[in-house]
Amino acid sequence: MARISGVFLPKEKRVEYGLTYIYGIGLKTSKDILKEVKVSPDTRVKDLTGAEIASIQKLISQDYLIGGDLKKEITMNIKRLADIGAYRGSRHRKSLPVRGQRTKTNARTRKGPKKVSGIVAKKKAPGKK
């Protein structure tokens, strides 16, 4: 198993898809990395040589922000928006959609499950037949 940036890549997958297991690298970035390092995207992860793995690792560590550093930067950006009092920051703080989506009927992913109000329907008394 190849280990790049602290992530074990699956052996049987093609390299272009294996690199996407690293947080912060998608398919487009993966293809760009392989093109720059001159590795065929069709090769399997298990078939990579040590030199190819080292060159991929070196390029990723130099040019791309990945993993924990990327997560830290994202959270710092959100914190900055909240600190300066931006509208987007207040939406993040309230756990509501940030990009203008409607919230009257949708947004269940962001808001969580429905909160049942305190009103309880009265039960009907059983009537005579």
- Whole-structure pTM value: 0.73
Dump pLDDT digits (tens) for 8-60: 999 999 999 999 999 999 999 999 999 999 999 999 999 999 999 999 999 99
Is residue 49 domain-shared with residue 76, that is, in the same domain? no
CATH code: domain of residue 58: 1.10.8.50
Question: Of 64, 75, 74, 76, whose CA–CA distance to 25 is shortest?
Answer: 64
- The number of domains in the chain is 2
Dump pLDDT digits (tens) for 52-89: 999 999 999 999 999 899 999 999 999 999 999 999 99
Total residues belonging to the chain: 129
CA distance 108 to 46: 42
Is residue 12 domain-shared with residue 55, that is, in the same domain? yes
Residues forming a β-bridge with 44: 14
Report how far apart, in Å, the C-alpha atoms of 114 and of each of 89, 108, 117 are: 23, 8, 9
pLDDT for the residue numbered 120: 67
Taking the mean position of all CA atoms in its chain, how far away is CA 92? 16
8 A C-beta contact, residue 72 and residue 91: no
Residue 1: pLDDT above 80? no
8 A C-beta contact, residue 40 and residue 48: no
Is residue 52 domain-shared with residue 97, that is, in the same domain? no
Residues spanned by the domain of 78: 70-129
